[in-house]
Amino acid sequence: MKVAVVGVTGLVGTVMCKVLEERNFPVSEFLPVASSRSIGKEIIFKGKKYKVIGMEDAIALAPDIAIFSAGGSTSKEWAPEFAAVGTTVIDNSSAWRMDPNKKLVVPEINASELTADDKIIANPNCSTIQMVVALAPLHKNFKIRRLVVSTYQSFTGTGMQAVKQYQLEKKGFKPKEGEMAYNYQIFENCLPHCDIFLENDYTKEEMKLVHETRKILSDQNLRITATAVRVPVDGGHSESVNVEFEKPFDMQQVKQLLSEAAGVELTDDTSNNKYPMPLFAKDKDEVFVGRVRRDESIDNGLNLWIVADNLRKGAATNAVQIAEYLVENKLVGVTTVNA
């Protein structure tokens, strides 16, 4: 496969390269792509040096797959240009997620929906991915009626500027004007403010959890409310998820379903103080689930604690898994009528 990574110098782009290497993805030709200010920089991939190229040069080379992590406006402008030359784009931004003509894919749940005609495929939001991986088998068996979600999201989800802000504050320095990713310090603080505020007083991040979950689980009747909080954690996102099911459930069956679910690792041994934490999720691809317990305040209620590395399964790994599915099922590198 001729593979382009667009946004290769960014935080997620760097992890995408790492994941491609680790999973031994079949790359015959590697194209590192970034904005004009990064053209000419050197990137090391599989021990070999590559120079970063621009969008036009990458499109001219017509890669089989282009994995994007370069922001929504960049994706809106350039993803169709790649698709026009037959490239299959896997996009990590929010640009295409709610487009009714684009698939929003978590491989463990709905990769089977993909066809060779899907030239732009959306990678869901990080906090959505880890939640639906855990919830999908439970929804299938007990039918989710309502979700109440509280997230505790790593500053790494905001990108390189947030990492630099945190590192400066941790060392005791006050970031200068232009160095702040947030309105307030993130070190030793929690910010109930992920992404921008919308007219309904929720943040964009909170509404992503609502809309994307409904689309991935193919259920527009799901009732979902969320509060997203940015925390001074390097390693992953954590989520407290309260679920109300339509059907009654047995706790033993719930835990069995979670332990058998693809991509999930059940870590739920409170007698030995074993439960998911970002400290142990960092640099791993699994979604860790624990603190599984019945909500005794309502009928058919359940509480879950869900943790995953937001840069890996929440972004890079999920995108590479989509690419792997496309290759395994011979859905890339082919010319389709709609290409």
> Which residues are marked as active site?
126, 237
Structure tokens at 259: 């332990």
Alpha-carbon gap, residue 39 to 105, rounded angstroms? 31
Nearest to 317 by CA among 103, 69, 4: 69
Evaluate whether 165 touches 186 at the Cβ level (below 8 Å).
yes
Say if strands 48-51 and 65-68 run parallel, antiparallel, or are unpaired: unpaired
Other C-beta atoms lying within 10 Å of the C-beta of residue 91: 27
User: Left if phi > 0, otherwise alpha if psi is -120 to 50, otherwise beta: which for 101?
Assistant: alpha
CA dihedral sign of residues 189, 190, 192, 193: positive
Q: Which residue has the tokens 């941790």?
A: 170
Identify the three-state secondary structure at position 228: strand
Tell me phi and psi for residue 221, to 5 degrees: -90, 0
Q: Which amino acid is at 251?
A: M
β-sheet bridge partners, residue 2: 29
Structure tokens at 253: 């069956």
**Length, in residues, of the chain:** 339
Alpha-carbon gap, residue 286 to 312, rounded angstroms? 9
Alpha-carbon gap, residue 298 to 249, rounded angstroms? 13
Structure tokens at 93: 């931004």
Helices (H) and strands (E) in the chain, counts: 10, 13
Burial class (CB in 10 A: 0-12, 13-18, 19+), 242: middle
